[in-house]
Chain A
Amino acid sequence: MSNGNVVEVVDLHKSFGDLEVLKGVNVTVAPQELVFVIGPSGSGKSTMLRCCNLLEQPTSGSVLIHGQDITVAGVDINRIRTHIGMVFQSFNLYPHMTAIGNVALALRKVKKMQRGEAEDRAHQALRRVGLDEKALSHPNELSGGQQQRVAIARAIAMEPDVILFDEPTSALDPELVGSVLAVMHSLRDDGMTMVVVSHEMRFAQDAADRVLFMDEGEIVERGTPDEIFKNTQHARTREFLARVTDH
């Protein structure tokens, strides 16, 4: 029943009060796939991602992780979330903890690892993002790019089945964007399954397996990067791409 997909979003609807933000979204993400989501601000991209780990409760529809519907009552959402990493636009590192403390917290408290084991694992994750030498720094001692890489380490340390990225580079100074994208690129090369909401079209062109264009709560167009960027079908997509690329 899981068709081998890591994530399956089926007819997802979400309303905030009277505002219908998602109007029936369907997405599948296969193992090792990088699905890239673009779309204008307010089109529902974040909401879609946040429904995938139940930071938002869907109004209707379902989200399947490895075939298991996580929207039904009685699932252990905290256990499910250890399989779904998330990286936020504003990093959301814990300011009262060091980098390694940030990475190790869930390993110790959710995966119940001993301190030593958790820290070994956290060091590995930090090394993976090239920041092991900053393990003992606090977030306010790190640049934005470094903070975001620590946040990525926090996600990968849990060895999730998929990582959701919500505009991971939008809050960064332009010269710091590259280091974060490089880490994401190497994760992809290692076969990590990823869903990335971003405006970095170059990265999409290089790294994405599929691109989805979202507008007003719907997925308007989907295809390979070449199909979306070079052979655009829909007028709305074309308008959007024209707006974000000509500056």
Chain B
Amino acid sequence: MDAFAAQFLDLEVMQRYLPDIIDGLWVTIALALLVIVTGLVLGLALAVIRAFQIRVINLAIVGFVDVFRALPPLVILVIFYFALPIIGLTWSGFVCAWVALSLVLASFAEEIYWAGITSVHKGQWEASRSTGLSFVETLFYVVLPQAVRLTIPPLTNRTIAITKNTALASVIAVQEMLTVAQTSLAYAANTSPLTMAAIGYLLIFLPLVILSRWIERKFAWKH
């Protein structure tokens, strides 16, 4: 047990690397927030555009969404990081991770929003249009408010799952929490920094996971 503690919970090592880990924690949080905002907004924008049912544009959206749902996020990240410089885009690892993960989240979010929009009964469109509201007004005042409600539980779960992928940014040298922990681990020849990082992720994501449970229950009774 002592050996275990020395290897995984060495307080002295932990204290030494705590400042670095906290720096990494902030990078992780910043990346996570950027991805959430960008992904959810872009996803909604795509779903709204799709509602106009313009054939060519819809094909493009579905194609984009399918590709980003089918490819592993790490593959996308690595391609962005190693292949984009070849076509002249030299983004930092942070920007690569931000863009790549945002596109992944946007794709999943678009599908969820779209499922929500199509689930709103046709009569809602007709009632609204019969009072003179335009297509766009109907979409924003009548359909989306109902759709968003249905989409909140799956969207929360998906957002958490994709945001956890910020840890993948360690593969492309972003100085987020896992990268810092791995560097410290190598220096200290001790696993405690990794334990700290794990605790850091729990601090960020456990409240969100518990929140998602609560959301699921709250919205489940509604119907």
Contact = CB atoms under 8 A, between A and B. Distances in A.
Interface of A: 50, 53, 55, 78-82, 84-86, 88, 90, 92-96, 105-106, 109-110, 151, 154-155, 158
Contact of B137 (A55, A84, A94, A109): A109
Interface stretch (B5-13, B21-29, B126-134): B126-134
A155 B132 contact: no
Nearest to A95: B146
Interface in B70-102: none
A161 to B, nearest CB: 13
Nearest to B144: A96
24 contacts: A55-B129, A55-B130, A78-B134, A80-B132, A81-B130, A81-B132, A82-B131, A84-B130, A85-B130, A85-B131, A86-B126, A86-B127, A92-B124, A94-B124, A94-B128, A94-B146, A96-B145, A96-B149, A105-B142, A106-B128, A106-B132, A109-B137, A109-B141, A158-B131
Contacts of B137: 109-110
B207 interface: no
Contacts of B130: 53, 55, 81, 84-86
Given A105-B141, A109-B141, A94 B127 contact: yes
B19 interface: no
Nearest to B142: A94
Nearest to B126: A55
A110 B133 contact: yes
Contacts of B124: 92, 94
A139 to B, nearest CB: 11
Interface of B: 121, 123-124, 126-134, 137, 141-142, 145-146, 149
B130 to A, nearest CB: 4
> Which secondary structure characterizes the binding site on chain B?
helix
Contacts of B134: 78
B132 A92 contact: no
B133 A106 contact: yes
Contacts of B128: 94, 105-106
Given A88-B126, A92-B123, A110 B131 contact: yes
Contacts of A79: 132
A82 B130 CA distance: 7
Contacts of A151: 127
A81 B129 contact: yes
Given A78-B134, A86-B126, A106-B133, 13 more contacts: A55-B129, A78-B129, A86-B130, A88-B126, A90-B123, A92-B121, A92-B127, A96-B146, A105-B133, A106-B128, A109-B133, A110-B132, A151-B127
Contacts of A93: 127
Residue among A79, A80, A106, A151 with most chain B CB within 10 A: A106
A202 B111 CA distance: 50
A233 to B, nearest CB: 34
Given A92-B123, A94-B146, A109-B141, A82 B132 contact: yes
A99 to B, nearest CB: 14
A55 B126 CA distance: 7
Given A105-B141, A109-B137, A92 B126 contact: yes
A93 B128 CA distance: 9
A94 B142 CA distance: 7
A53 B126 CA distance: 10
A92 B146 CA distance: 13
Contacts of A84: 130
